[in-house]
Amino acid sequence: MSTKIAVLLDELVEEREFTYPYYRLKEAGFESVGIATEKRVFRSKYGMSLTPDAAIGDVTPAEFGGVIVPGGYAPDHLRRSKEILAFVAAMNRDGELVAMICHGGWVGISAGIVKGRTLTSTAAIRDDLTNAGATWVDQSVVVDANLVTSRSPADLPDFMPAVLKVLAEQK
């Protein structure tokens, strides 16, 4: 398993859901890599400037041991990228970590990885997930094999330990 973990980024990302996992992974000894559709400055939901480490076209799924999809409005932008969707689908197909929080489930829907899975998200996309064939539950964190999901920034203290546990089990 690679120690590189992708943390996706796009316009209007919920910055706590990007920055907390990004730095927590580093703390745990992983190489977190911010990845976006292009390498430029993005504005977060609350106005923070964030620059990715790499563009999706410059990386391959084989380099990574997992991916984290933060929420905010970024997932609505990310799910329009065929490269992002292929990356997330490849991570899932290979049994690598796929972690989604808040609206991040939109990327999972568009990548075609939620059907038959049990997960959670912000309640705002519950119908989207169930219509895509997922079983939605209202819990702070849900682990379904390699898939880790949470509802909101308030769940980050439960989300990251679950992410790190899945990564430890993949070694």
Q: What is the DSSP string of 81-111?
A: -HHHHHHHHHHHHTT-EEEEEGGGHHHHHHT
Q: Is the pLDDT of residue 15 over 80?
A: yes
Q: Tell me: the pLDDT tens digits for 56-98?
A: 999 999 999 999 999 999 999 999 999 999 999 999 999 999 9
- The two three-digit tokens of residue 70, written as one number: 């933060």
- 25-35 burial, b if ≥16 CB within 10 A, otherwise e? beeeebebbbb
Q: Which domains does the chain have, with CATH numbers?
A: 4-170 (3.40.50.880)
Q: Is 77 a catalytic residue?
A: no
Determine contact, residues 59/9, Cβ cutoff 8 Å. Answer: no
Q: Tell me: the pLDDT tens digits for 116-170?
A: 999 999 999 999 999 999 999 999 999 999 999 999 999 999 999 999 999 999 9
The answer to whether the Cα torsion of 20, 86, 78, 38 is positive or negative is positive
pTM above 0.95, yes or no: yes
pLDDT score at 2: 73
Of the candidates 16, 45, 79, 103, the residue annotated as catalytic is 103
pLDDT score at 1: 57
